[in-house]
Amino acid sequence: MVDPVVVVGASLGGLSAVDALRAGGHDGDVVVLEAADELPSDRPPLSKQVLAGTMEPAAARQPLAARLEELRADVRLGFRVESFDVATRRIRGADGTELQASGVVVATGAAPRRLPGPELAGVHVVRTMDDCLALKADLDRGPDRVVVVGAGFIGAEVAATCRELGLEVTLLEGAPAPMVRVLPVEVGSFVADLHRSHGVDVRLGVGVDGLEADGDRVSGVRLADGTLVPAQVVVVGIGVVPSTDWLTDSGVPLGNGVTCDETCLAAPGVVAAGDVAEWLNPHFGERMRVEQWEHAIEQGAAAGRRLLAGDGPGEPFASVPWFWSDQYDRKLQMAGRPSATDEVHVLEGSFAEQRFAVAFRRGDRCTGVLGVNRPRHVVQARMRLVESLDWAPIEELFS
C-alpha cells in the first residue's frame, strides 16, 4: 500500500494543496492534520464582519470547507504534530501516533506575536475564530476605550471595526507611520490620517513599555515615554511568527519560515505553502514569505502540483501577490511586492479624496500598485504586472 500524502495544517494553503492533488489526478490517501479542534474558519471576516456582528460565525467558512468529502481528505482535528524527520518522512503526533508519509505539505501557518508579561483578561490577538469571539465578548461589554497595539493591517481593521461599533479607540504604532517596514511612508501616513478622520486617537512613534493590570484584568497600556493610556480592552497586532516549532529537528531547512526553492519544494517530497513558506519568487527574483489570503490558495495549489511532479523539476511558482483590506468604507487593495524605499507615483485620484491608485517604482520596475476604492485600477495593473514588472506599461495603462 502506498503511504498517504500528509498535509499539516487545514487552513487555506493546506486544503488548496489537497484540491490541487485531486485535480492533478492523485488518487491515493490524503491525510490532513490540524492542531485545532475545529476546521479553521475563513480569517478575513474575523477582524471585520464577525467582530462587528454582521456575519454569523458559521458563515465564515473557508472556500473548500464544503468540499472536503468530495476531495476525500481524511481530516484529523486536534492532531498536534510533535516531530517530523525529513529523511524517513515519518511524522509523530503529540499523542504518540506515528504516520508514514509519501509526501508532506507544510501548511502550519503562523502564530500571532504577543506582548511579554503575564496573561491578562482583556488582552487579545485576532487569529482564530475563538480569538475573534473572545474579543467580541469583551467589546460587547462596552469598554470605555480599546487600545490597539500595532497599526498593521489586522490592527487597522480592528480599530476601524471598533470605531464603527461606537467605541473609543487608541491606535499605537512604534514606527513613525503604519506599515513603513513594507510600504513607502506616504501609504502609512494615509492610513493614519484615515483613522484620525474617523476619530481614532492615532499615536505614532511610541513604544509600548508594558500593560497595567487591575487584578488579573488589563487596565491600561504604559508607553515608553511614561504615558499611561487607560483601556479595558487591548488588541495586540504586532505581526506573526511562522509555526515551525515541530520542524526544529526535522532536517527541513528553516529561516524566515520554511525555506523553499522556486517550486515551493523544501526537501525531497516536502513542500510548503502559505504564511509558513518562504520561497524564491522567480517573477521578482526575490525570496519572500507572503501572509495573504489569496496567496495561500495559489501557493497551496502550486505546492500540491509540485508534489505530483515527484522527482521531476516541477514548475516554478511565479506570483504577483494581491490582498485587500477593508477599513471603514474604504477598500485598500495592493498587487505586487513594493519596499519602503520605492518611489510613489499617483496614477489616479488623490490622497485627499481618499480614493486613488498609486504605483511603486524602483528603477525601471513597477514593484506594485495600491488602490483605495479603485479595484478596477488594481486588477488591471495586476494583469500587466503578471506579464512583466516593467514600469512603462503601467504608466501607459493610466495615462
Partner 1 sequence: MQPPSPTGEPRGAEMKVVVNFDLCESNAVCMGIAPEVFEVRDDDFLYVLQEEPPEELREQVTEAARRCPKQAITVED
Residues 115-174 that bind partner 1 (CB under 8 A): none
To the nearest whole angstrom, how small is the minimum distance from the Cβ of residue 228 to partner 1? Answer: 39
CA distance linking residue 386 with residue 336, whole number of Å? 9
Instruction: Compare residues 232 and 333 and give the one whose CB is closer to partner 1.
Output: 333
Contact 247, 106 (CB under 8 A): yes
Q: Give the shortest CB-326-to-partner 1 separation in angstroms.
A: 7
Q: Which stretch binds partner 1 (CB under 8 A): 71-79, 129-137, 163-171, 322-330?
A: 322-330
- Nearest CB to partner 1, comparing residues 216 and 329: 329
Q: Which of 324, 328, 351, 398 binds partner 1 (CB under 8 A)?
A: 324
Scan residues 344-363 and list those touching partner 1 (CB under 8 A).
none
For residues 283 to 312, the per-residue mask of contacts with partner 1, x marking binding by CB under 8 A and - elsewhere, is ----------xx--x---------------
Site string for partner 1, 58-87 (x = CB under 8 A): -----x------------------------
- Judged by beta carbon, residue 79 or residue 322, the one nearer partner 1 is 322
Please identify, using beta-carbon distances, which residue of 289 and 382 lies nearer to partner 1: 382
Least distance to partner 1 from the beta carbon of 249, Å?
Answer: 37
**Residue 249 or 329 with smaller CB distance to partner 1:** 329
- 147 or 378, CB closer to partner 1? 378
- Of residues 225-254, those binding partner 1 (CB under 8 A): none
Q: Shortest Cβ distance from residue 372 to partner 1 (Å)?
A: 11
- Number of residues in the chain: 399
Q: What would the x/- binding string for partner 1 be over residues 369 to 388, using CB under 8 A? A: ----x-xx-xx--xx-----
Q: Which residues bind partner 1 (CB under 8 A)?
A: 44, 63, 293-294, 297, 322, 324, 326, 331, 333, 373, 375-376, 378-379, 382-383
